[in-house]
Amino acid sequence: MIYLILSATIIVLLATLVVISKKIDNKKTAVVIKVISIVFALIYLVRLFQVDVIDSVNNSATWITNTELAVVNIIRWFTYVSIVLCIVAPFLKVKTLKNLLAFFVPLTVILNIIFFKLNLLAFFGNAGFSLIHYRSIMFACELVLMGILGGYALYEKIKEKDFKKFGTQLKYMAIVLPFLLISIFPSNMLWNLFGPINLIADDFTFVHRVYIYAALLAPLIITFVFGKKHYDIRNSVVVWLAVAGFIGYFYYFNYNVGLNALPLHLCNTAIVLMLLAYCFKIKSVFYFTFFINVVGAFIAIMIPNMSSDIFSMGSVHFWFNHWYAFFVPILGISLNIFKRPTFKMIGKAIGIFTLYVVIIAFANALINNFLTVDYFFLYGNELTDRFTFLFDIKAKFIWVIDTGSLYLNIFWLYDLIVYVVYTISIFVIWYIYDTFFKIGDHYAYLLNLNQVDALQLRELKKKLKGKPLSSPANPKGVKMIKIENFSKKYAGSDYYAVKDFNLEIHDGEVFGFLGHNGSGKSTTIKSLVGIQSLTEGKIEVCGYDITTQPLQAKKMIGYVSDNHAVYEYLTGREYINYIADLYEVTSKDRKERIEKYVKLFDLEKFIDNEIKSYSHGMKQKVMVISSLIHNPKIWVLDEPLTGLDPNSAYEIKECMREHADKGNIVFFSSHVIEVVEKICDKIAIISHGVLKGVYDLEQLKKDKISLEELYLSFIDVKEKDKNA
């Protein structure tokens, strides 16, 4: 009879909901479903704190057969998953969860109705079995509400004819369901089915190490699987784990009724805080769990205070509870639910933690007048048994408060030591966090770089139309430098260093690049030679795109930087040969060129000395020689004459002219007008990151325009950065 009553109730109420939904819009229907979900959660919350007889039995029980025990455990396991689905699925925008709500939850409800009496037997045992007990009535109400939520989800799916690619939907449900089942594994199930197996996860035994590895691997695996998914999916993962952890913790709470089971231990507090942080997106609560609770959970995992069999309810609960307290806060950052914390946030977290320690010290002292509690291990002997030197400290340094009827014993020095050590651990964990952040950033950058490279390679192949990848992408530009709409903004800056820069330089030209310090000259040159990336735009060198064909483009370039970053423990000759090796210069060519330039720059006596003994000017000469050793088509120099003696400066200017006359391009930056006037064919002027103009020096002379006056007309104007 009970089966018919429950089924009929679900059908009638579900039909009523369907009729109502047809008379109101979809938004109002969604609100109704969420209200039903909340009511269901409240009813279940009341039952969650009740003691179930089945929690204290194992496969040797006489009042229930082993088959019945297995069946009821499996059904209850499915029910836990269905409960969390009914609570979270209406609030999350994840199709697979809604599909499971539509298919898995109704199946679970049907099984619970069929085995309704077996479920009640698990609640009460033989002695208190009753269909009219308030717990039986509450359980029946839960099944009705679960049936309505699951049934309506199935009705919506049928109404919307959402069965396209149903095979794919089934595949995703089959993948996700095991994750959901593992995440809310019943604490009593292993003990019920198998009883004790005489193994304890303690003192770095094999089992203990497996549990440690599981804690460390879980966040890595979850991040790997879900890290690149849509936000709704990533958010559903942490919300699910937070709700599952809450239910798992408080299910065990009903088995250990008493003040000692209150969630005042730091790791237990974390379970409640995570629910608040993830379900209601409370940032301050999240960052507290991230900085404080993770440390406590990690310490508990490494030195667990467990002495019971690994299949016991207490042991399973301990490990699931501390696993969640350890890695679920970490997932908030690794899955990008909350912004990455900063070092400054530690101060606030420690401030709240300090208040927590003070409150717990007094709570321990007060409550221990009535019964034994040991919140945060500040009162009992858990730590003193492990670290015996603390025993005398705890015993000798006691602050006793006598209120007349109560004695409050505050072990102030012992508590202070625990507090200080824990606080130091927080900073150690931050160092570990920071290290992993940097590693994560590095690999994320490499992954993104690989993805960009793959995309660029596909685009390059399209452009080349079957030609070898070593061919220039733009055959028409093989005798020029072409810069199109180039812009560069550095990370952390609100302004562009260079904005919308366009320039063409042709073979046979010595091209000067004028601008004041900070105008954008070096930024443009560093992007041209491939030292730094482009924010926007394109740069081609001899037809090769510096972004998509960087190796081929760089082979065309000889570069003299504005600093002298050379390997100072090499000799000048060794350094030049090293550069020649990079550019695959033949032995014959390099020998001839080294002899030529060493003699030209008067370095015969010094070329075989270590570079660290060289003067500034000598280092500059070695840089010039190494930039010319492969006879580049494009010779780029950034402030090349700074610090040189007049004779060396003259020789470099002669080299520039000679190199350009051979059909090459010389492109150099300077802010010295006299140098530019003497050797350049054309010049470009840049100011505040904006190209002001390109000028032919011969034409300027014909027009009797002073280059100095032209240059100063741009430089003297105190422009504001309009290129942001």
Report pLDDT for 582.
93
HSE, CB side, 13 Å, CA atoms: give it for residue 591: 3
Instruction: Tell which wins on pLDDT, 446 or 310.
Output: 310
Give per-residue pLDDT as tens, 306-337. 888 999 988 999 999 999 999 999 999 999 99
Give per-residue pLDDT as tens, 630-651. 999 999 998 888 777 888 888 8
Q: Which of 147, 164, 195 is the last residue of a domain?
A: 195
Residue 721 forms part of a structural domain: no
What is the share, in percent, of the chain residues with pLDDT greater than 70?
97
- Claim to verify: residue 272 and residue 309 sit in the same structural domain: yes
HSE, CB side, 13 Å, CA atoms: give it for residue 244: 27
Tokens 């037809």 belong to residue: 543
Q: What is the mean pLDDT of residues 679-694?
A: 92
User: Helices 95-114 and 66-88 sit at what angle, rounded to 10 degrees?
Assistant: 140
pLDDT > 50? residue 14: yes
pLDDT > 50? residue 374: yes
Q: What is the mean pLDDT of residues 214-232?
A: 93
Q: Which of 125, 119, 145 is nearest to 2 (CA)?
A: 119
Report pLDDT for 252.
75
| 212-249 CB burial, b ≥16 within 10 A, e <16 | beebeebbeebbeebeeeeeebbbbbbbbbbbbbbbbb
> Rounded mean pLDDT of the chain?
90
pTM over 0.85: no
Written in H, E and C, the secondary structure of 486-518 is EEECCCCCCCCCEEEEEEEEECCCEEEEECCCC
Q: How confident is the model at residue 718 (pLDDT cuts 50, 70, 90)?
A: very low
Q: How confident is the model at residue 50 (pLDDT cuts 50, 70, 90)?
A: confident
Report pLDDT for 97.
96
d(CA 310, CA 550): 58
- Claim to verify: residue 12 and residue 150 sit in the same structural domain: yes
Residue 300 forms part of a structural domain: yes
Please say whether the beta carbons of 312 and 191 come within 8 A.
yes
Report pLDDT for 128.
65
Torsion sign, CA atoms 214, 216, 222, 224: negative
| CATH at 581 | 3.40.50.300
Residue 464 forms part of a structural domain: no
Please say whether the beta carbons of 492 and 528 come within 8 A.
no
pLDDT > 60? residue 724: no
Report pLDDT for 12.
92
Q: Which of 526, 565, 545 is nearest to 481 (CA)?
A: 545
- Claim to verify: residue 334 and residue 355 sit in the same structural domain: no
Residue 646 forms part of a structural domain: yes
d(CA 124, CA 119): 9
**CA 159-162-168 angle, 5° bins:** 155
pLDDT > 50? residue 721: no
H or E, element range at 481: strand 480-488
Give per-residue pLDDT as tens, 557-579. 999 988 777 889 999 999 999 99
Amino acid letter, 464:
L
Report pLDDT for 391.
92
Q: How many CB atoms lie within 10 A of CB 584?
A: 8
Q: What is the mean pLDDT of residues 34-51?
A: 90
**CA 202-206-209 angle, 5° bins:** 70
- Claim to verify: residue 147 and residue 3 sit in the same structural domain: yes
Ranges 351-355, 405-409, 460-464, 512-516: which has the least confidence:
460-464
For residue 695, what are its two tokens?
Answer: 């000028």
Helix (H, G, I), strand (E, B) or coil at 339: coil
Report pLDDT for 259.
64
DSSP assignments along 70-121, one per residue: HHHHHHHHHHHHHHHHHHHGGGS--HHHHHHHHHHHHHHHHHHHHTHHHHHH
Report pLDDT for 445.
81
At 487, give phi and psi (nearest 5°).
Answer: -135, 150
Domain span at 449: 429-459
Amino acid letter, 318:
F
- Claim to verify: residue 623 and residue 516 sit in the same structural domain: yes
Q: Which of 57, 379, 354, 324 is nearest to 192 (CA)?
A: 57
Instruction: Tell which wins on pLDDT, 403 or 607.
Output: 607
Q: Which of the given ranges, 1-5, 97-101, 162-166, 191-195, has the highest pLDDT on average? A: 97-101
- Claim to verify: residue 169 and residue 202 sit in the same structural domain: no
Ranges 312-316, 446-450, 548-552: which has the least confidence:
446-450
CA distances from 360 to 61, 206, 410, 721 (A): 41, 34, 10, 56
Q: What is the mean pLDDT of residues 362-367?
A: 92
* Chain-centroid distance, C-alpha 35: 34
At 185, give phi and psi (nearest 5°).
Answer: -65, 125
- Claim to verify: residue 258 and residue 148 sit in the same structural domain: no
Torsion sign, CA atoms 220, 221, 227, 232: negative
H or E, element range at 696: strand 690-696
Q: Which residues pair with 506 in a beta bridge?
A: 480
d(CA 548, CA 502): 19
Report pLDDT for 427.
94
Residue 470 forms part of a structural domain: no
Specify the number of domains making up the chain: 5
Residue 128 forms part of a structural domain: yes
d(CA 109, CA 148): 10
Report pLDDT for 107.
96
Give per-residue pLDDT as tens, 414-432. 999 999 999 999 999 999 9
Helix (H, G, I), strand (E, B) or coil at 394: helix
- Claim to verify: residue 376 and residue 358 sit in the same structural domain: yes
Report pLDDT for 723.
42
- Claim to verify: residue 189 and residue 221 sit in the same structural domain: no
Q: Which residues pair with 539 in a beta bridge?
A: 483
HSE, CB side, 13 Å, CA atoms: give it for residue 691: 19
Instruction: Tell which wins on pLDDT, 40 or 47.
Output: 40
Q: Which of 29, 42, 116 is nearest to 86 (CA)?
A: 42
DSSP assignments along 257-273, one per residue: -SGGGSTTSHHHHHHHH
Residue 469 forms part of a structural domain: no
Tokens 């002219």 belong to residue: 657
For residue 587, what are its two tokens?
Answer: 């032995």
For residue 244, what are its two tokens?
Answer: 């599952």
pLDDT > 90? residue 90: yes
Residue 722 forms part of a structural domain: no
Q: How confident is the model at residue 458 (pLDDT cuts 50, 70, 90)?
A: confident
Radius of gyration, alpha carbons of the chain: 37
- Claim to verify: residue 455 and residue 403 sit in the same structural domain: no
At 685, give phi and psi (nearest 5°).
Answer: -115, 130
pLDDT > 70? residue 413: yes
Report pLDDT for 352.
93
Report pLDDT for 579.
95
Q: Which of 341, 366, 399 is the last residue of a domain?
A: 341
- Claim to verify: residue 162 and residue 226 sit in the same structural domain: no
Report pLDDT for 266.
85
For residue 110, what are its two tokens?
Answer: 């049907």
- Claim to verify: residue 171 and residue 247 sit in the same structural domain: no
